[in-house]
Structure 1
Amino acid sequence: MLQLIATPSNALADEPVSIRAIGLPPSQIVTITATAKDEKENLFQSKAFYKANEAGEVDLEQASALGGDYVGVHPMGLFCCLKPKRAFQRLIKKDVMNSPLCICLDLYDSVCLLETVRIPPKASQIVHRWFAGPGVKREQIREGRVRGALFLPPGKGPFPGIIDLFGFIGGLVEFRASLLASRGFAVLALAYFAYEDLPKELLEEDLDYFEEAANFLLAHPKIQQPGIGVISVSKGAEIGLAMACYLKQVVATVCINGPSAIFDFPLRYRDLVVTPMRQSLEWTQIHASGAVRLRHCSDPQNMLNPHKILPVEKAQGKILFIVGENDESLASKLHAQRAMDRLRSHGRSSGRMLAYPGAGHLIEPPYSPFCFASWHSVLGKPILWGGDPIAHAAAQVHSWREIQKFFRQHLLQSGGKL
């Protein structure tokens, strides 16, 4: 009997899935497709062609894809290569607590193109991808000026605390925070503009707001003392690096594809005002897809000026820079290298950089669909993020392990366990 088997079919979104087809004629060419929808019913699809072995089986952990959206042995390729049917859509799970992301796997006993397939599949399997593990709790946060969602692991605690910052898309993004809470961290997904009563637009980076969030987290009875971590990406990583430099509460910071200087909007902290570097649209390029390539939109001469770089030597904690070498939104490796050079020039060894060849800008938890370009609602245009799907997927798997290892090492007190 022909079967398509995916195990586990119900698991956290950062866990791998084993996919096998059995009961096929020997050497049969098959198509396996994956289909998912976001909460707005936007469709995402992927496909790969395989040849059954002499036993009539296709095991994605061993079999090499002959074509489709990838070639070679990539057990989670169908998940990582999910592409939007409509251009420039990005798959972001909004409701992380009440429903999983459902991915439908279909098996066809021939070469099928998704655009023309009209025949029913020979076998199917639904895979449920959850973003919060059993016992994880979500608390809506409206404390003073602080707005966000706090995710707490099951148990008494105290837990190592982390603030999670996303980029210039605004609003509240929760999927990474809920997954980290499922791995034993207490994580505050923090909004900083375009959410509830926060400013509708980002006009300045108010570090006092982020310090208030850090103090709120440290005052929570389930948060371990004496310091917190920050995980941040893109514009959020710019803020995360500033937090590392100026806030004593921050002892471990992960900056994913962010700048090492203040861009576009002034940074304010108490009596300090940091004047931003300006980006010029004269330096932008348009990709063949129609998406805007921002990688070179900052003046390279400014990048060479050490006075324009955040004073990373003032950071009291550790900093992990994660960069995609094919980031088309920002010259992120250059930025991280400048910060590392500045640390070394001050005799500091508190920084570390992980650079991933072939990875783009949006390095997210493992098996998240690769996003090459997507519509940016704040900028009002599609933005090119860059990267190669398979190399990017490998970067997501490796960096996720390294991020957790980093936070366990630098947030846990001696003798603490997680």
Structure 2
Amino acid sequence: MVQFTVTPEVSLADEPLRIQVSGLAPLQIVTLRASLTDEKGVGFQSRAFYRSNEAGEVNLERDAATGGDYSGAQPMGLLCSLKPEKMFHRLMKRELMHSPLHVKLDLYDMYQLFSAPDVLPVASRIVERWYVAPGVQRVLIREGRVRGALFLPPGKGPFPGVIDMFGGIGGLIEFRGGLLASHGFVALSLAYFAYDDLPKMLDEIDLEYFEEAVDLLMRHPKVMGSGVGVIAVCKGAEIALAMATFLKKVIATVCINGPNGINGNSLRYRNLYIRGMPYITEGIHFTSTGAMEFHNAIEDPREERNQDCILPVENAQGPILFIVGGEDGNYNSRMFAEEALKRMKRCGKKNAKLLLYPGAGHLIEPPGSPFCLMSYNPLVLGPLMWGGKLEAHSYAQEHSWREIQKFFHYHLGQSKVSKL
């Protein structure tokens, strides 16, 4: 009798699933399919083919897929290869506290290339993937000018505090903040435009707004008082690097695929003004799918004319971890990070590190997140190419997530497990 097990049935969205099949005929071909429907009603699905061993077993932690949406041994391949039915759609969980993602896993006893109503699976399982652990609290923040959502771990604390930001799509994005709180951080998911009464467009970066958010987080009784961390991607990583450079209470920073200077929008902080490097519109490349690639649309920060736009990262109070996808289709992130590291080295600073992931793209998110090659961006009113390859990107998400948590726990206090 065929046994199909998927454990755990209820888990955090960044935890691995163990998928096993037994009771098959030796060397039998089976199809495994994953599917879900997101909050906007858009379906996602993936499938892969496996051949059982002599004992009639398939174990995704051990066995390689022979084809489908991925190949090779990828224990989380079914989740990482989930693709939307609607082109340019990105899976992004918005409501965290009361509803998980429900992922359906189906087992077919043959090659099942297409979904057909008359072909029924041999067995099916449904698992819940949550972005908050039991006991995590969410507090909507509307204090002074600051807008966001604060996630608090269960217990008295104090805990390390982290500000979490995303990039040029705007709005309030909370899923990474919920997961950070589930791993012992007080996380402030911070909006900075296109949300509530914040500006609809990001015309100028007012660093005092972000300083106000730092102060708000540090005042919370559950937050350790030594300083806070910041994690961000894309445009948010640009702002995070500016925060690390100019705000003394920011003592640990993770920049995911961001630039080393101010781009497009100027930055202002008290009496300081940094102009943004202009975008090169002729550097925008349109792929065959119609997605825009901005990789060459930012001016070279090494040019003499752009030196006043570069952030003096050597003034950062604490360590900086640069996480870079080697096939980032949106930014030349490797060059940006390497230039920042060179500058720090010239100034005698050794408190920065680069984690380079060859083959990974722009949107490096927590593990188990579907690989997103391209998606619609409301800021440019069109789809953007993020780049990367599935297997390499999935590895980058899994590995970097562990390193991010080690980095913050070590430098913000609690669980000192490794040095930068």
Give the corresponding residue for 2:288: 288
| TM-fit CA distance, 1:100 | 0.8
Aligned: 1:244 with 2:212: no
Task: Extract unaligned runs of 5+ from structure 2.
Answer: none
Q: Is the 8 A contact 1:302 1:308 kept in 2?
A: no
| TM-fit CA distance, 1:85 | 1.1
Aligned: 1:212 with 2:212: yes
Q: Is the 8 A contact 2:267 2:273 kept in 1?
A: yes
Q: Which amino acid aligns with 1:62?
A: R
Q: Is the 8 A contact 1:169 1:376 kept in 2?
A: yes
| TM-fit CA distance, 1:168 | 0.6
Q: Is the 8 A contact 2:252 2:411 kept in 1?
A: yes
Tell me the number of residue pairs that the alignment of Structure 1 and Structure 2 aligns.
Answer: 416
| TM-fit CA distance, 1:37 | 1.2
Task: Extract unaligned runs of 5+ from structure 1.
Answer: none
Aligned: 1:18 with 2:18: yes
Give the corresponding residue for 2:384: 383
Q: Which amino acid aligns with 1:210?
A: F
Give the corresponding residue for 2:5: 5
Give the corresponding residue for 2:69: 69
Q: Which amino acid aligns with 1:126?
A: I
Q: Deviations over 1:323-355 (max 9, x none)?
A: 000000000010000100000011111111100
Give the corresponding residue for 1:97: 97
Give the corresponding residue for 1:369: 370
**Partner secondary structure for residue 133 of structure 2:** coil
CA distance in 2, matches of 1:159, 1:299: 40
**Partner secondary structure for residue 121 of structure 1:** coil
Give the corresponding residue for 1:163: 163
**Inter-CA distance 87–413: structure 2 relative to 1 (3 Å threshold):** closer
Give the corresponding residue for 1:111: 111
| TM-fit CA distance, 1:302 | 5.3
**Partner secondary structure for residue 227 of structure 1:** strand
Q: Which amino acid aligns with 1:70?
A: Y
Q: Which amino acid aligns with 1:14?
A: D
**Partner secondary structure for residue 32 of structure 2:** strand
**Partner secondary structure for residue 223 of structure 2:** coil
Q: Is the 8 A contact 1:365 1:397 kept in 2?
A: yes
| TM-fit CA distance, 1:2 | 1.8
Q: Is the 8 A contact 1:50 1:64 kept in 2?
A: yes
Q: Is the 8 A contact 1:34 1:78 kept in 2?
A: yes
Give the corresponding residue for 2:265: 265
Give the corresponding residue for 1:331: 332
Single out whichever of 335-344 and 287-296 deviates more from structure 2.
287-296
Q: Is the 8 A contact 1:325 1:355 kept in 2?
A: yes
| TM-fit CA distance, 1:3 | 2.6
CA distance in 2, matches of 1:173, 1:238: 17
Q: Deviations over 1:74-124 (max 9, x none)?
A: 111001100111111100011111111111000111111135564111100
Q: Which amino acid aligns with 1:15?
A: E
CA distance in 1, matches of 2:22, 2:115: 26
Q: Is the 8 A contact 2:261 2:301 kept in 1?
A: no
Q: Is the 8 A contact 1:151 1:188 kept in 2?
A: yes
**Partner secondary structure for residue 160 of structure 1:** strand
| TM-fit CA distance, 1:307 | 4.0
CA distance in 2, matches of 1:334, 1:274: 21
CA distance in 2, matches of 1:36, 1:102: 6
**Partner secondary structure for residue 300 of structure 1:** coil
Q: Which amino acid aligns with 1:103?
A: V
Q: Which amino acid aligns with 1:283?
A: G
Give identity over the alignment, percent.
56
CA distance in 2, matches of 1:117, 1:25: 25
**Inter-CA distance 31–414: structure 2 relative to 1 (3 Å threshold):** closer
TM-score of the two chains, using structure 1 as the length reference: 0.97
CA distance in 2, matches of 1:398, 1:415: 18
**Partner secondary structure for residue 151 of structure 2:** strand
TM-score of the two chains, using structure 2 as the length reference: 0.97
**Partner secondary structure for residue 276 of structure 2:** coil
CA distance in 2, matches of 1:385, 1:414: 34
Give the corresponding residue for 2:398: 397
**Inter-CA distance 391–310: structure 2 relative to 1 (3 Å threshold):** same
Give the corresponding residue for 2:323: 322
Q: Is the 8 A contact 1:165 1:233 kept in 2?
A: yes
